[in-house]
Amino acid sequence: MSDAPKHTAFFGDADRAFALPAEMIAELERKTGRGIGGLSRDLIRGEFRHVEVLETIRLALIGGGEAPEAAAALIAAYAANAPVMTTYPLAVAILETVYFGKATTDAE
């Protein structure tokens, strides 16, 4: 999974790596019932379901190296009940990284 481009951002309580390698893209498509193209297009246009934002971030945490259980706990603690506009930009940045390669970090 380490070959996928990574986005680094502060999430929860630390800087974390987010990546969607091919197997995580397939899982995102399975979990949302949507292809990556349509999901990305609609998310960037602001037409999305909350679960799509959460699943994009959770699976990207796993793709970035977090254990699945830790990723789920991070989503529950820091994203599930957060205002949508605090998690939405991260999901967009993750998908931009899938499409265009390495994104800049929040600190860059």
Instruction: Report whether 11 contacts 56 (CB < 8 A).
Output: no
pTM of the entire predicted model: 0.91
The pLDDT of residue 108 is 42
pLDDT tens-digit readout, 26-80: 999 999 999 999 999 999 999 999 999 999 999 999 999 999 999 999 999 999 9
Domain boundaries, the chain: 7-100
Give the confidence band of 107 by pLDDT, cuts at 50, 70, 90.
very low
Q: Region 85-104: what's the mean pLDDT?
A: 89
- C-alpha 95/C-alpha 41 separation (Å) is 10
The pLDDT of residue 3 is 83
Closest by CA to 93, choosing from 104, 83, 82, 84, is 104
